[in-house]
Amino acid sequence: MKATFGNAIQYQTHEGTGHLILGQPPSNTMTPGFFEEFDQAIDRILNDRHIRALVISGNGRHFSSGADLTALFPEIQGHSTVDNRGNLLRVPGFMLKNHRSFLKLESMTIPVISAIRGVCLGSALELALSCHFRFSGEDAVFGLPEATFNLIPGLGGVRNLSAITGKAKALELILTGKTIPASEALTLGIVDRIFPKREVVKISLGFALNIMQGFHKEKNKMYLKKYFPV
The residue within the footprint of another protein, chosen from 127, 170, 185, 190 (CB under 8 A), is 170
Note whether 172 and 113 are within 8 A (CB).
no
The residue within the footprint of another protein, chosen from 70, 83, 85, 218 (CB under 8 A), is 70
The residue within the footprint of another protein, chosen from 26, 93, 166, 196 (CB under 8 A), is 166
Residue with Cβ nearer another protein (147 or 209): 147
Residue with Cβ nearer another protein (3 or 163): 163
Q: What is the dihedral of CA 119, 123, 125, 129, to 10 degrees?
A: -160
The DSSP string of 71-109 is HHHHHHHHH-EE-TTS-EEE--HHHHHHHHHHHHHHT-S
Residue 194, interface with another protein (CB under 8 A)?
A: no
Q: From 159, 160, 115, select the one nearest 138 (Cα to Cα).
A: 115
Q: Which stretch binds another protein (CB under 8 A): 50-58, 172-180, 201-209, 218-226?
A: 172-180
Note whether 124 and 30 are within 8 A (CB).
yes
Note whether 28 and 128 are within 8 A (CB).
no
Residue with Cβ nearer another protein (137 or 154): 154
Q: How many residues does this entry show for the chain?
A: 230
- Work out how close the CB of 79 gets to another protein at its nearest, in angstroms, rounded to a whole number: 9
Helical (H) or strand (E) element with 157: helix 157-165
- Work out how close the CB of 82 gets to another protein at its nearest, in angstroms, rounded to a whole number: 7
The residue within the footprint of another protein, chosen from 44, 61, 99, 197 (CB under 8 A), is 99
Instruction: Give residue 217's identity as a one-letter amino acid code.
Output: K
- HSE at residue 143, side-chain half, CA atoms within 13 A, is 16
Residues numbered 18-57 forming contacts with another protein, rule: CB under 8 A: 27, 29
Residue 176, interface with another protein (CB under 8 A)?
A: yes
The residue within the footprint of another protein, chosen from 76, 164, 186, 209 (CB under 8 A), is 76
Peptide bond into 32 cis (omega under 30): no
- Work out how close the CB of 13 gets to another protein at its nearest, in angstroms, rounded to a whole number: 29
Note whether 196 and 117 are within 8 A (CB).
no
The residue within the footprint of another protein, chosen from 174, 185, 190, 212 (CB under 8 A), is 174
Q: Give the single-character DSSP code of 149.
A: G
Residue 84, interface with another protein (CB under 8 A)?
A: no
Binding interface with another protein (CB under 8 A): 27, 29, 65-70, 72-74, 76-77, 80, 82, 86-88, 91-92, 95-96, 99, 103, 121-123, 145-160, 162-163, 166-172, 174-176, 230
